[in-house]
Amino acid sequence: MAPRSDSEAFQKSPSSVSEQELWASMDPLAWHYSIARDSVFEETYKITRDLIAEAAEQGGYDCILECGCGTGDVIGNLKKTKIHRIGIDINERFIEHCKKHHSHPDCDFLQVDIVRLTEWWDEFKVKSGFRKPLVICVNNTLNIMPEEIRGQALEQMLAVAGDDGRVVLSYWNGHFFSHAIMNYYKENEELCGPFDFSHVDFETRTLEAPSGYSTHWMNPTEVQRLLRSFDINVDLVSNEVDLDTDHIHTAGLAIFCWFSLACTSKSKSYYDSDDAQTFYSSIWGEETVHIGRYDLLTDEQKQQLSFSEQISKVSMLRTNAQIP
């Protein structure tokens, strides 16, 4: 069993603690020991380290940047590569832990907010000279971040990777959710608090513990759809790893996603740009414009339907070009 977090976060009421809050207050050693000592994740951590090291060497990257490095158990133990490594995390206590337990001349640990990643990187790369990073965020770390910043975090990682770099994510594989419930979460109350099977939805692969701790394990297709919602289109889902292509594959308890800027449409950044907004204001004006076949609305519909209902109706009529 791992030592208790000194905050005893899981003893709070269910509505008063989130997974993010728990992580922010957790003793780094509590997490480290829950993984490192005969954990079901031990083999997956080794697979992750080996894949990252091999990809970095094979792809000719000049550094490996881990976003949300936590206790450094991945990047701090990459013994199969001499490529420089940088681990960043917003939690100062985790960074202090990394510096103490992973003190290597070719490894830096820095406290950096991921939503300001490009701002930091622009300064850091000038001092360091790195130009082709392999940017990683592994072991379900992205899903631990607040939901509202995940898309922004991915945009920042892709921007840092640039035209020559690459991004690697890994999520926990839903095919092993039951295994993890029985052999990890049940044995680590210090992480998620006590729970019974009424708090587990095996169909959706979700744990909602009374402490407020929750975790959702996805399958590869769900991960692919999730990435598409962030404008990252990874077409290939395979059971095999191919370090030369953008793809999704499984290994150990994880789903690995390899992608680059080539997987994005890049249109989102354009439509949000100052130039695009100036164009919209000049042509359309400042008020919202709703396109539809308003001429097909009947007098009765105009009287009975609310404004929002009319917008929905005329949009449909524009597509179907007929009155239902």
Ordered domains of the chain (ranges, CATH): 9-268 (3.40.50.150), 271-320 (no CATH)
pLDDT value of position 29 = 66
- Other C-beta atoms within 10 Å of 69: how many? 30
pLDDT value of position 39 = 81
The radius of gyration computed from the CA coordinates of the chain, to the nearest angstrom, equals 23
Q: If 0-12 CB within 10 Å is exposed, 13-18 middle and 19+ buried, where does residue 55 land?
A: buried
Q: Measure the CA–CA gap between 242 and 42, rounded to whole angstroms.
A: 23
CB 32 within 8 Å of CB 97 = yes
Distances (CA, A) of 254 to 43, 220, 224, 234: 10, 10, 14, 17
Q: Measure the CA–CA gap between 58 and 294, rounded to whole angstroms.
A: 58
pLDDT value of position 182 = 94
Which residue, 66, 95, 68, is CA-closest to 78? 66
Instruction: Find tokens 């490894």 and name the residue.
Output: 107
- Other C-beta atoms within 10 Å of 34: how many? 21
pLDDT by residue, tens only, the chain of 324 residues: 233 233 333 333 333 344 445 555 566 666 666 666 668 999 999 999 999 999 999 999 999 999 999 999 999 999 888 999 999 999 899 999 999 999 888 999 999 999 999 999 999 998 899 999 999 999 999 988 888 899 999 999 999 999 999 999 999 999 999 999 999 999 888 778 899 999 999 999 999 999 888 889 999 999 999 999 999 999 988 888 888 899 999 999 999 999 999 999 864 454 455 555 554 455 444 444 555 666 677 878 777 776 556 666 766 654 454 433
Q: Which two tokens stand for residue 26?
A: 């957790």
Beta strands in the chain (DSSP E): 63-67, 84-89, 107-111, 133-137, 166-172, 200-201, 206-208, 214-216, 236-238, 247-251, 254-259
Instruction: Find tokens 């006590």 and name the residue.
Output: 194
Q: Measure the CA–CA gap between 72 and 49, rounded to whole angstroms.
A: 11
CB 68 within 8 Å of CB 89 = yes
